[in-house]
Amino acid sequence: MPSTPVVRYEVGDRIARITLNRPERGNAITRELLSGLVECVERADLDPTVHVLLLAGEGTGFCAGYDLVESAEGMGAGGTARGGEEPARLTPIDPAVIAANHDPAGTWDPMVDYAMMSRNVRAFMTLFACGKPVVCKVHGFCVAGGTDMALCSDLLLIAHDAKIGYPPARVWGSPTTALWAHRIGVQRAKRLLFTGDSLSGREALEWGLAIEAPDAAQLDERAEALVARIARVPVNQLMMMKLLVNQTLYAQGLHATQILGTVFDGITRHTEEGYAFARQAAQEGFRAAVRARDEPFGDAGRSTFKG
């Protein structure tokens, strides 16, 4: 076990605090981080003293997405890159790399890809399936795969000046947990996914995605006040209320939509445009590929909604 865990776990006052702890990489997602997340959520779920979970990120932002920069730059034309925009490193055993690392001239098996990426979806969905409420605190940035963790949580507090969105909708990605339409409605989900734009915390509050959007300096205080209030409710009541509300999303076909979103994610990495993005990342660097992706939208590397 590493001396510094990539996911930190603390319990006190009926609250389990789960913190993504790779600040030097923007808390970007690796297999180790997802395993740590699943372990911590399970631990909190089984602890009778815990009533509510608070998910947060260490450092300058919540999560920069999948950690595939080094892979994108190092695996040649068949290399991979995802939506995160922070420097990153990833071991070659990560499922996302295995799923996409093949010669474009060869045969791509979409079910191998799906088998790998669906494991990530199941990890994200432990937050949704957890019997206890999960509050997610977003500061700085929450983009690409990072939004899967945020949207699988029950309540979102987003700092007024933070950004949240899915830039890989422009190329090389599909939201695998498929929760955007459930969280902000069909038309607004299309507005974001047709452009790859992101929302500020203020806009996320206006669109109903966030429950609060305080100033960054007040984010911790507001998050602590909310989880402390939730923690006063008996845990059996909290479990019943979450189960009750979650049935609405299941009845609307969430599981089927997630299968489609995960299969589409693999397809986006194997289109002509997807290969071109990977080729540019390998030849010029991942940041250059992201800038080229975003420049036509006037927000190179930022992808923030200004409408």
Strand partners, 54: 17, 135
Residue 271 has a pLDDT of 92
302 falls in which pLDDT band (50, 70, 90)? low
Cα–Cα nearest to 93, from 34, 166, 39, 167:
34
Residue type present at position 139: H
Provide, rounded to the nearest whole percent, the portion of the chain with pLDDT above 90: 76
Q: Is residue 302 part of a domain?
A: no
Residue 278 has a pLDDT of 86
Q: How many domains does the chain have?
A: 1
Residue 2 has a pLDDT of 53
Stated pTM of the model: 0.89
Rg of the Cα trace of the chain?
Answer: 18
Q: Is residue 240 part of a domain?
A: yes
Q: Is residue 307 part of a domain?
A: no
106 falls in which pLDDT band (50, 70, 90)? confident
d(CA 166, CA 183): 14
Q: How many CB atoms lie within 10 A of CB 295?
A: 11
d(CA 15, CA 129): 17
For residue 264, pLDDT beyond 90: yes
Residue 72 has a pLDDT of 55
SS3 string, the chain, reads CCCCCCEEEEEECCEEEEEECCHHHCCCECHHHHHHHHHHHHHHHHCCCCCEEEEEECCCCCECCECCHHHHHHCHHHCCCCCCCCCCCCCCCCHHHHHHCCCCCCCCCHHHHHHHHHHHHHHHHHHHHCCCCEEEEECCEEECCHHHHHHHCCEEEECCCCEEECHHHCCCCCCCCCCHHHHHCHHHHHHHHCCCCEEEHHHHHHCCCCCECCCHHHHHHHHHHHHHHHCCCCHHHHHHHHHHHHHHHHHCCHHHHHHHHHHHHHHHCCCHHHHHHHHHHHHHCHHHHHHHHHHHHCCCCCCCCCC
Q: Is residue 303 part of a domain?
A: no
Q: List, for residues 150-169, the tens digit of each pLDDT value.
A: 999 999 999 999 999 999 99
Identify the domain containing residue 108 by its residue range: 7-297
Q: List, for residues 74-103, the tens digit of each pLDDT value.
A: 444 333 334 444 333 333 334 445 444 556
Q: Is residue 2 part of a domain?
A: no
Q: List, for residues 8-66, the tens digit of each pLDDT value.
A: 999 999 999 999 999 999 999 999 999 999 999 999 999 999 999 999 999 999 999 99
The residues, any chain, with a CB within 8 Å of residue 295's CB and separated by 6 or more, are none
The enclosing domain of 238 has a CATH number of: 3.90.226.10
Q: List, for residues 112-130, the tens digit of each pLDDT value.
A: 889 989 999 999 999 999 9
Q: Is residue 306 part of a domain?
A: no
- pLDDT (average), residues 180-199: 98
Q: Is residue 305 part of a domain?
A: no
Q: Is residue 185 part of a domain?
A: yes
191 falls in which pLDDT band (50, 70, 90)? very high
- pLDDT (average), residues 132-161: 98
Residue type present at position 227: V
